[in-house]
Amino acid sequence: MSEEMTRGASPLEIELECGFDFIGDIHACYEELLELLQKLGYSPDEERLYRHPEHRKMVSLGDVMSRGPASISTMVFFKRHIDAGLAYMTDSNHGWKIARWLDGRKVNLAHGDEKVAEEFNRYEAQYGSEAALRLKRDLREMLMNAPSHLIFTERGVRTVVACHAGIRDQYIGKDSKRIRNFCRYGDTDGLDENGKPLRKEWHTGHRTGELIVWGHDPRAEREVINSTVNIDQGAVFGGSLTGFRFPEGEFISVKAYKDYSDVPGNPFSRTSI
């Protein structure tokens, strides 16, 4: 029997009442995130919430944590801004693994996820076990509730789709375990001899009218193909953190302060992520 697919509260449909700023994979590059937001026109208020004078909102494509130096600060930043109605965030592969780890499940923390556990060990040593448990619970809730993808509409017409790793046209507006996994990991075709995923170019089959904004698969330069926009420029690998302004269609980027990764060889190698 085929897996049932339903339309409902997840993913969210959001009406484009103002501009949105989509942000590629941050991977705990917290200082670069703050610089990018300032370049996009945001500034902190008295509560350290970043607001835009034109009431624009930020949209993270996920993978805000892991690999880089400041996972907790970055996750807390988005928790506060999502709760305040100032930001949105999609589900992602690292986000899903960290959500399960925060939930106490047995998961293998690798590929930079182990750095999140190391940060929490330091946090607990400084603030105590009760504070660490509260923080884990709050961040787990945010990550578990992240939608597989987000649809932005203009007068009810679907205009932009935001997702982490990709989405097939027939999945847009629907939800299932298969769809959530596709949006987290993209279209893969097994593993290579080194155990790395063989990624397929799902976006070449995009035919519907929505613009799809995605990340996950780092490219040295932003890539616009077939009404899809990849804005993961490998910030944690020493590349850039990219923002995409909509409806203006403008790209704003911040050069990474350093290469934070432990990945050998070409940091933008598609088999190294």
> What pLDDT does residue 12 have?
78
Task: Please give the span between the terminal C-alpha atoms of the chain, in angstroms, as a whole number.
Answer: 34
CA atoms within 13 A on the CB side of 99: 16
> What pLDDT does residue 193 have?
56
Task: Kindly tell me the sign of the dihedral angle through the C-alpha atoms of 184, 239, 117, 140.
Answer: negative
Euclidean distance between CA atoms 140 and 145, whole angstroms: 8
Write the single-letter amino acid at 159: T
pLDDT tens digits for the chain (273 residues)?
333 333 333 357 999 888 999 999 999 999 999 999 999 999 999 999 999 999 999 999 999 999 999 999 999 999 999 999 999 999 999 999 999 999 999 999 998 999 999 999 999 999 999 999 999 999 999 999 999 999 999 988 999 999 999 999 999 999 999 999 999 999 876 655 555 666 778 888 899 989 999 999 999 889 898 999 999 999 999 999 999 999 999 999 999 999 998 766 545 544 344
> What pLDDT does residue 155 have?
86
Given phi > 0 = left and psi -120 to 50 = alpha, else beta, which region is 155? left
Write the single-letter amino acid at 215: G
- Helices (H) and strands (E) in the chain — how many of each? 6, 16
Query: Taking the domain 13-224+238-255, which CATH number applies?
Result: 3.60.21.10
Write the single-letter amino acid at 121: N
Euclidean distance between CA atoms 123 and 108, whole angstroms: 21
